Structure 1
Amino acid sequence: MSTPRSAIEAVFPRPAGTPRFGVNYVPSRGWWYSWLDWEPSAMAADLRAVADLGMDHIRIHCLWPVFQANPGHISGTALARLHSLLDLADECGLDVSVTVLNGWLSGFYFRPAWQHGVNLFTDPVAVAAQLDLLAAMAERIAAHPRFLGFDIANEPNVLAHYAGNDITTSEGDAWTRRLLNHCEAIAPGRMHVAGFDHEPWLTDSAPFSREILARTGSATPLHAWIEFTGALKRYGYPSTATHHLGEYLLELAKAFQSDPHRPLWLQEFGAAPQWISEDAVAEFTESFTAAALSCDQLWGVTWWASHDIDRGLAGFADLEYDLGLLTTENQVKPAGRRLATLIDRLRQQPPTPATRTTALLLDDTRAPDWTFAERFFSLVDEGVRPAIVRASHQDDAEHIAERGITKILDL
C-alpha cells in the first residue's frame, strides 16, 4: 500500500515546484539522549537556527529503548516529549518526519534489552510490540499539523547483520510491507517511508529487495554517503562519482519504481572534514545538492546533520562530531551558509530537472555495482544526464515513453 503522490503534495506541497529542504535534527545539547534529559528551551533555539537556514522540515530520531523499554511498556513521558517537540517545530514552521525504531543511529546499536536473543524482524512478540509502539505514537501525534509521517526505522538493513536477526529477503520484505501498511492504517495520508541506506541498492548482501524499497510506502528515500558507500576511497575527491553519487542513486531507484511519478527523497547525505577539507565540505554540499536537483520527482533534500555533536560526549567515531551545518552553540558553519544562500536562490528561481532521454540498460541478474555506476558517471562527463532502465523493462513501450526515454544504451 502506498499513499498517492497527489495526496502527499496536497498535505505537504513543494513550494512553487521547488524541492523541500531540511535536516536530520541532532540536538545540540545531549544528542538524542535528550529524550531523557529534556531541555525544550535548548531545542527551541536549535530549531530557530535550523529555520533561519531556510529549512522547512526536520527528520527526528527516537531511541527505541527509551520509548519501549519493555514490549508491554511504552513510555508516556517519551510520547509527551515527542508531541512537545512537534509543537516546538510548529513554532518555527518546520514539518517533522518521525523515525521510530532506532535502532541504528550515529554508529551505535540501540536494540532494547528485551530483544536479546529475539529476531526483531520475525519474532511475533517483537513485531507486535513494534506495531504497538507505532500505534501509540500515532494516537498522540497523527493529527498534529506538523507531523509529516513515520519513517519506520533508520537503516534497518544494518540491524539485519547483527546476531539473531538473520532473515531471508522474503522475510525482510514482508516486515517492511507490514510496518508501512500499518503506518498508513493508523495515520492515513501522511508520508510514511523506510529509511534504508545504500546497501540494498548497491549490493545483494542486505535481505531487502530493491523492488520493496521502491514500491512500498509514500516515497523512496535514499541515503547517499560518499564515505560509507566507498565512493570516496575508490574515486577520490573531487570526482564525478563523489559529486554525482546522489543523482546516480536517485536515478537507480527510478529504475525499480513501478510508478514513474513516485516521489524520491534524498534523505541523508553529508561530509566530514576528516574525509575532505573543511572548505571542501561547503563546496561539496552545494555541488552534490545541485546534481541531485537535476532529477525529476525529487520531493526533498535532507542533510545530515543539523548540529555537531558535543565532544564532551565520548565514544562516537571521530567523524560523527563534525557533520553539522551548525555548531553546538548554533553558529552557522561554512556549509550551512553555503546552503542557506543556495536555498534562497532556488526558491526565487526553482531548478529545472535535466531531460533524460538517454538511458543505461541495467542487467536484472546483477547488482548495480561500481562497474555499472562508472558507466553512468562517464556519460555525465560527456555532458549526458542518463536515466536507468532495467533489462526487464526495455520492451515495455509504455514505461519507456512515460519516462521520456528515446535511446537505451547497453554499454
Structure 2
Amino acid sequence: MNYVPSKHWWYSWQEWDATSILEDLRAIAGLGMDHIRVHLLWPVFQPDPSVVSAVSLDRLRELLDLADHPDVSLDVSVSVLDGWLSGFTFLPAWMSGRNMITDSGAICAELLLLDTLAAHIGDHRRFLGFDLGNELSVPNGGVPTERGEQWASLLLDHCASVAPGRFHVNGVDHLPWFEARTFSPAACATHGSASVLHTYPYWTGAIRRYGPDGTGVLHLGEYMAELAEAFSPVRGRPKWLQEFGASPVERPAESIPQWAASFVRNTLSSGGFWGCTWWGSHDIDRRFTGFIEYEYDLGLLTVDNEIKPIGARLRQLIGELRDTPVRPAARSVALVLPDSRELGLHVADRFFALVDDGLRPALVTSERADDPAHLSARGITELVHF
C-alpha cells in the first residue's frame, strides 16, 4: 500500500500526529498488507542544501517504530526526493534555477540527504530501502536519457553503499517505459533492485482508448510487466507493481473492486513479482481543497479508517493469492518490439489483440529476437513482427 495519512496527508511531516498514524497503520495491516511506501516532502526534510531537518528525521524514525508495533508489522519503503506527488511539485527553495539531475550542487545535496537518512534509519528492521523519488521523469522531462541514467545509477549505487542489503529502486511512472522520457526502458530494467511499474489506466490514457472494461485496461499491467521482462538483462529480475489504482472519476465506483482483482491477477501472470502496492491507503480529506478531483477517492479506507468496498475486495484477494498464488503464464509466442523510443499504447494495441485471440504473449526486443539462446531460455518458440 502507498500510505496516504488520513488526517493530514503528507503535510503530516509538519502536522505530526503519531496517534492517528498508528490508527492508520493498524487499519492497513487489518487489510492483510505487509508493506507500505511512504513519501518524504523534500523541502521539509532538506530546507538548505547543507542541512537536513533533525525534527523530520526523528518523525521518520518514529513512523518506522509505529510500523513495527505488534498490531502493525509493516515494512517501509522510503521515497526520498518528492518531488512530484499527487499533482504537486515539491522542491526546496534552494533548488530554484537548478535541475535535480544535471546540477552538480543539487546532486551533492541529494547525496548528503541519503547519507543522513541512512545514518538515521538504515539499521531499522522495518526499513525496506530507498526509492529515489516519485515519478521523477514528470518534473524532469527535458533531461536527456543519458544524463538521467547516469544520475539514477550514481544515486542507486550510493544507496547501496550507505544502506547495503536493502531494496533500492527508482520509482518511475509509465513515461520512461512508453517514451524513454528521462530514463530509458533498458535503464529502468537494469538499475536498482527491481523494475518499477506505475500502471494507471487513467494516466496512461488506456481507459479512454479501450473503455473501462477493455482488454487494454484489464491487461495494461501485464503489458508493462512484459516490457520490463523484454528489457531486463537477466532472467528473474524482480518486478514491483509500485503504483496502480482507480478513481470514481474514471469509472463507476461499484466497478472498481472487480476491475482491481482482474487487473492484479492478469499482471501477476507475467511472473517474477516482488510485490503489488495500491495507491493509496486512504482517501484525501476534503478539507484540503488544492487537489484535482481524481486524487480524493483513491483509497481503500476512508479518512475515518472505514473499509471501502475496494478495500474489502483486495483484503479477500490477498487471502486468495496467499492460498493459491497466480501461476505465471506460458508465453511461447512473442511480439517483437519495434526499434523505437515510442512503446506506448499504439504498440500495446498489437499485444492486446493477441490477448483477444486467446494468447498470453511475451515481448522481445529486436536485438534479442535473433538470439536463439535468449528465446529458448524464455520458452519462446514463435515470433510475431509488426
- TM bucket by the smaller chain? over 0.9
Partner of 1:331: 306
Partner of 1:97: 77
1:70 maps to which of 48, 54, 62: 48
Partner of 2:322: 347
Question: How far off its partner does 1:281 sit?
Answer: 1.2
Partner of 2:268: 293
Question: How far off its partner does 1:123 sit?
Answer: 1.2
Partner of 2:249: 274
* Identity fraction in percent: 51
Partner of 2:2: 24
How far apart, in 1, do the equivalents of 2:339 and 2:159 lie? 31
Question: How far off its partner does 1:67 sit?
Answer: 0.1
Partner of 1:112: 92
How far apart, in 2, do the equivalents of 1:248 and 1:26 lie? 27
Question: How far off its partner does 1:371 sit?
Answer: 2.5
Please identify, of 275-284 and 25-34, the stretch whose mean Cα deviation from structure 2 is larger.
275-284
Question: How far off its partner does 1:43 sit?
Answer: 0.5
Question: Over residues 232-279 of structure 1, what are the superposed CA-to-partner deviations in whole Å (9 max), with x where a residue is unaligned?
Answer: 111111110111101110001111110121000000010000110010
Partner of 1:16: none
Counterpart amino acid of residue 171 in structure 1: R
Counterpart amino acid of residue 79 in structure 2: T
How far apart, in 2, do the equivalents of 1:282 and 1:120 lie? 38
Question: How far off its partner does 1:366 sit?
Answer: 4.6
Q: List gaps (5 residues or longer) in structure 2.
A: none
How far apart, in 2, do the equivalents of 1:118 and 1:366 lie? 27
Question: How far off its partner does 1:364 sit?
Answer: 2.2
Question: How far off its partner does 1:121 sit?
Answer: 0.9
2:179 maps to which of 203, 215, 218: 203
Q: List gaps (5 residues or longer) in structure 1.
A: 1-22
2:15 corresponds to 1:37 = yes
2:318 is paired with a residue whose SS is helix
Counterpart amino acid of residue 126 in structure 2: R
Runs of 4+ residues deviating >4 angstroms? none
With the length of structure 2 as denominator, give the TM-score of the two structures. Answer: 0.98
Distance 1:365 1:278, change over 3 A: closer
Partner of 2:205: 230
How far apart, in 2, do the equivalents of 1:320 and 1:231 lie? 18
How far apart, in 2, do the equivalents of 1:138 and 1:219 lie? 20
Distance 1:63 1:366, change over 3 A: closer
2:284 is paired with a residue whose SS is coil
Contact 1:214–1:256, Cα closer than 8 Å, also in 2: yes
Partner of 2:166: 190
Question: How far off its partner does 1:298 sit?
Answer: 1.0
Counterpart amino acid of residue 342 in structure 1: L
How far apart, in 2, do the equivalents of 1:315 and 1:116 lie? 22
Partner of 1:368: 343
1:176 is paired with a residue whose SS is helix
Contact 1:364–1:392, Cα closer than 8 Å, also in 2: no
Partner of 1:379: 354
